[in-house]
Structure 1
Amino acid sequence: METRSAAIWKRFRKNKLAVAGLIIFALLVLMAIMAPWISPHDPEVFDIMESNLPPSALHPFGTDSYGADILTRIFYGARVSLSVAIIAMTFTVTIGVLYGAISGYFGGLVDNIMMRIVDAIQSTPTFFFTLIVATLMVPGMWTVIIALTVFGWTRMARIVRGEILSLKERDYIEAARASGESNASIIFYHVLPNMIGPIIVIATLDVAGNILAESTLSFLGLGIQPPTPSWGNMLTSAQDLPTIMDYAWIAVFPGLFIVLAVLSVNFIGDGLRDALDPRSKK
């Protein structure tokens, strides 16, 4: 008899874009992990005499305006950009799931107050306030993570709350209440495990959003600071050039990896959404 996980994988692998996205993202993660061993140069070695060199055998992606090897810094930048995206996603998912679970399970006045807070946050220009948070703190990796977390949990909270409102009246929840189980036990052992699908999908898509947000903050000088490489701050160095068209590789290669990471995660999210949907017949 086919298990649920086998059925999910069977539906997922029928989505060719999702499988391609999974392979690409796995390669990006492997690239980040293996960066110290596969990088052709030291990421913090700068030779001004070799600045703005075009792609060659020695520097496959060329060098930037400081003479650093772009391929090497892309490898190391993947470690920072992907780490920020995944850690921030972990925080936003944890906060959003707990907040939405409490709001949806207890309902009534508690739900009204908690959801009005979510409404207030979601009604504001989130990225604008993210910039303010990042500006008020010392630029760095944890500044970006905190800035993304402060406003990033509300979508997860709303989705979890909606799912719990529909689940908490089910017979098995009533039976758990009647048996004397605590509210915490019911939430964590009976409710949340039955909505793991939507949580995984939203978490996956949050990674893509976080990659873009980190790149934007670093590009604006509010995120990861040189000499620590990230895909976002690598694009910043292209601004200092008199004409980007003459040194296109400095912006093209970091931008290409940002696009690859975001698209691959979005494809994975779409594939998971279809695979985890029990009504899917594909």
Structure 2
Amino acid sequence: MTDLQTDHAVQHRATPAQADAVPAPLAGGRSLIGTAWLRIRRSRIALASFAVVIAIMLFAILAPVLVAIAGTDPFTTNTGPDVLDNFMTPGLPLPGYMYPSAEHWLGIEPGLGRDLFARIAYGAQVSLVIALLSTVVSVVLGTILGAAAGYFGGRTDMIISRIMDLFLAFPHLLLVLSLTPILQSRLRDTPLGSGSFVPIASLVLILGFFGWAYLARVVRGQVLSIREQEYVEAAKAYGASHRTIIFKQIIPNVAGVVLVYATMLIPTNITAEAAISFLGVGVKDPTPSWGQMLNAAQAGNWYLSDPWFLAVPGFFLVITVLAFNLLGDAVRDALDPKASRG
């Protein structure tokens, strides 16, 4: 029997049992995603959070277009006397264009006088790129290692499980703070070490590498029961390889768990990037970052004379994280196998 015939036979035998064994099969003619989307549509909070997430992502993607329409950019400085003196001299009134105006939609930052709208827009790009890519790294590592541990068992399970325990025992933030500067210095010595790539790449690698263990543990628990199902035994009987069984039979059946974890991990990584940049280890000026802007407002004591400079990035950060968290809760509820299907 050829490999193509083997795969075809495995899929043919797996489908009926798979539909009975998996908590997310077709329901009333709808797929898993269709059923989840129907439940999300019934919740106003879920729809509102989904709309905000889409708006934030479009805001980040279209940042160059929006900034061009506004006629500004995130790097041009304005260090005239009315920008500096009115802040450095107590009692002088703040210039009106420091706040939202027709020329500067969200005003300008104190000191250097750069446009806040442009920096917020490009900061959204940085935050989302780091959060999404690091989530992808964590999900890929966690899913594959968790599935391997649960499927193979024995020594493989023991080794991967001990590595999981080791990663979960580490103080995450302290590790990131200590390893990020080291990785950045290493990347600068490579051909890729130019521009803003170094801090972004280092945060993606470190956040992604230290974020897979919890998902791997959850996936392992799911696979321990899935590997005993009839369709997995049928695949083995037909001579399917371990790789085929893991990637075609097991991992698709933990997709719901993985999707829920991914939606919950994105806001965690957004917050982590902001915290690391706020502490001065992550993204650094002049590259726009919400956390770096909060750091600038605190470091220069601008929050006392110009609270607007602190409020704008803080507002966008809170709204983005809240929307992703609410959407993650909605996805989790929609994929809950114990919930009644509509």
Within 5 Å, which residues of 2 pair with 1:195-214?
Answer: 195-214=254-273
| TM-score, scaled to structure 1 | 0.95
Q: Which has the higher contact order (CA 8 A, sep 6+)?
A: 1
5+ residue gaps, structure 2: 1-27, 88-97, 185-197
Distance 2:117 2:236 in 1: 58
Deviations 1:16-40 (A, max 9, x none): 2221111001001101111111122
Aligned position for 1:137: 183
Alignment partner of 1:175 is 2:234: yes
1:18 paired residue among 46, 59, 62: 46
Distance 1:238 1:105 in 2: 51
Alignment partner of 1:218 is 2:263: no
Alignment partner of 1:60 is 2:105: yes
1:29 paired residue among 53, 57, 66: 57
Give the secondary structure class of the aligned counterpart of 1:271.
helix
Within 5 Å, which residues of 2 pair with 1:23-102?
Answer: 23-39=51-67, 40=70, 41-49=72-80, 50=83, 53-65=98-110, 66-102=112-148
Distance 2:43 2:286 in 1: 40
Aligned position for 1:184: 243
Distance 1:135 1:77 in 2: 21
Alignment partner of 1:248 is 2:275: no
Deviations 1:211-252 (A, max 9, x none): 001101111111112111011111111023335132111111
Alignment partner of 1:269 is 2:328: yes
| Cα RMSD for the two superposed structures | 1.5
Aligned position for 1:117: 163
Distance 1:267 1:43 in 2: 30
Distance 1:127 1:157 in 2: 20
| TM-score, scaled to structure 2 | 0.79
How far off is 1:55 after superposition?
3.0
The answer to whether the 8 A contact 1:93-1:203 is kept is yes
2:296 paired residue among 227, 237, 249: 237
How far off is 1:6 after superposition?
2.7
Distance 1:152 1:7 in 2: 29
Aligned position for 1:157: 216
Give the secondary structure class of the aligned counterpart of 1:277.
coil
Pair 1:153–1:251, CA change in 2 (3 A): same
Give the secondary structure class of the aligned counterpart of 1:3.
coil
The answer to whether the 8 A contact 1:97-1:157 is kept is yes
Distance 2:73 2:50 in 1: 29
User: Which amino acid counterpart does residue 30 of structure 2 have in structure 1?
Assistant: T
The answer to whether the 8 A contact 1:61-1:249 is kept is no
Give the secondary structure class of the aligned counterpart of 1:48.
coil
Distance 1:48 1:237 in 2: 16
Aligned position for 2:22: none
The answer to whether the 8 A contact 1:89-1:210 is kept is yes
Distance 1:213 1:64 in 2: 24
Distance 1:281 1:98 in 2: 30
Give the secondary structure class of the aligned counterpart of 1:140.
helix
Pair 1:276–1:242, CA change in 2 (3 A): closer
Distance 1:226 1:45 in 2: 13
The answer to whether the 8 A contact 1:121-1:154 is kept is yes
